[in-house]
Amino acid sequence: MALLEIVKAGNPVLKQEAAVIEKVDSRLRRLLDDMAETMYKADGVGLAAPQVGKSIRCVVIDVNDENGLLELINPVIVEREGSELDTEGCLSVPDVFGTVERSARVTVEYTNRWNKRKRLTADGLLARCIQHEIDHLFGTLFIDVAKSLRNGEKK
């Protein structure tokens, strides 16, 4: 496995709509491994492929719950319910935090690393993280949708 460089806001790859992944193969699995290692090393709870300079539709997420490491390939949110305001940050936007409104509960369909289509319903931090990471695949950063932003420590 290898650590990848996390690109920062201002890099055009973060503003692009990412491409659908046509082939789930060992090369993609290696990228997912490297993305997970990079996320854990940076103390993040999610990382989307555009954040490592790859404009393709996959994300890794681990919010320290019973799901463990989630790898979502071509994820699509198919159901949403409720809404919730909470604080977010992003490894591509260091030292900035903001209040973002998200759906309180989402159901996401995705392909796993063994090319099986899966469905997951989540709420709380996991739901928030899924929405944040999928936004990256549309070229949207949390600073584009935050109701307010601030510098410094997460509160």
Q: How far is the CB of 71 from Co ion (least distance, A)?
A: 16
Is 133 in the active site?
yes
Q: Which of the following is catalytic: 79, 84, 133, 153?
A: 133
Give the span between the Cα atoms of 87 and 154, in whole angstroms. 8
* Cβ-closest position to Co ion: 90
Nearer to Co ion, 39 or 90 (CB): 90
Nearer to Co ion, 6 or 24 (CB): 6
Give residues in contact with Co ion (CB under 5 A): 90
Among the listed residues 46, 23, 28, 27, the one whose alpha carbon sits nearest the alpha carbon of residue 36: 46
Q: How far is the CB of 90 from Co ion (least distance, A)?
A: 3
Nearer to Co ion, 90 or 96 (CB): 90
Give the span between the Cα atoms of 37 and 79, in whole angstroms. 30
Q: How far is the CB of 44 from Co ion (least distance, A)?
A: 8
Active site residues: 133
